[in-house]
Structure 1
């Protein structure tokens, strides 16, 4: 379902196309094209982040995952997920340290690492990160101010 702005933008794109002034979505800045582009970009980010992490050995401890689950030793699986979560936490700690030093360039780089590691984990666990983000953003719209807390 399109928002009102997306409906307006979609109609504008159709009219441009009819007049022979069409362009690729990647060249367009309307809300419909941006949404389509970001959709593929998030999925591609997840795929590339996971592919690179596997290539660099961050999933080696998952080699026996299937066997462990089938034999009732799922604790190895959960331990491996926990290790991946702690790698995300370590990137957050590095971002905090860069901020404390006033190193905004490194701060941005560390935040990128947080997203890359999160995308990798989602890729490895077959989690549709984009869908989860959209669902969570909708849920957050209904929550009370500061989620009912002081800070």
Structure 2
């Protein structure tokens, strides 16, 4: 027996709104969704998994045009496995570069936080002069 879900359930599982799911469908960003006899969308588990992948691809910056290409290949079935893998491998390289940049950016933020901790701990201003303003010292939890 194939389990199917309604749009509200899929919205909850994927983190997308129902309107976003409908928009993704209209824009061809998710595979065709089956309908029940009363016309309501019914998502099978394979559809939910592909939607979850698409959410991740979007979140990692894959362009919409590439997602459309990926889905067109997905519709081709096994014949496109190699091409899908190549597209994902190219995207992985971009994501890895983004992660490296983010790690470097995070390190710079951490360095700046440490810098301010040292200034506060030593009662110093940015130009390394002592802070003499008692209001500033009190806000920093230091005796005036």
Higher-Rg structure is 2
* TM-score for both structures, normalised by structure 2: 0.27
TM-score by length of 1: 0.26
More strand as a share of residues? 2
Q: Which protein is richer in helix relative to its size? A: 1
